[in-house]
Amino acid sequence: MSNKLNNQQPNRILGWNELLQLLPYSRTQLWRLIRAGQFPAPMQLGGRKVGWRESTIEAWIESREAVSWAPLEDLEETPEIAGAGS
């Protein structure tokens, strides 16, 4: 995904607004992921201002793309629930 987010600068800083446009998460959801260690922590830019390096977010997105579900034919048959269909 080499610099797909912005073709102007190679490693710019993304603020909340840009981050929220890129990802299907709210601020609250992202803070929960950060606290759980599942999303990169922001850099403190001063006061209450935080940001993320574009390359860090690109790498995180690529890591999410690598996670995939097993093909259906590879899954074992779902066991029947006891008492179902009786």
58 close to 1: Cβ distance less than 8 angstroms: yes
Is 58 within 8 Å of 19 (Cβ atoms)? Answer: no
What is the residue extent of each domain of the chain?
Answer: 1-61
Token pair belonging to 2:
């080499």
Q: What is the pLDDT of residue 64?
A: 85
Q: Phi and psi for 62 in degrees, rounded to 5?
A: -60, -40
The pTM of this model reads 0.66
Residue 79 pLDDT > 60: no
Task: Label residue 44 by pLDDT band (50, 70, 90).
Answer: very high
A 10 A CB-CB count for 57 gives 19
25: phi then psi, degrees, rounded to nearest 5: -130, 155
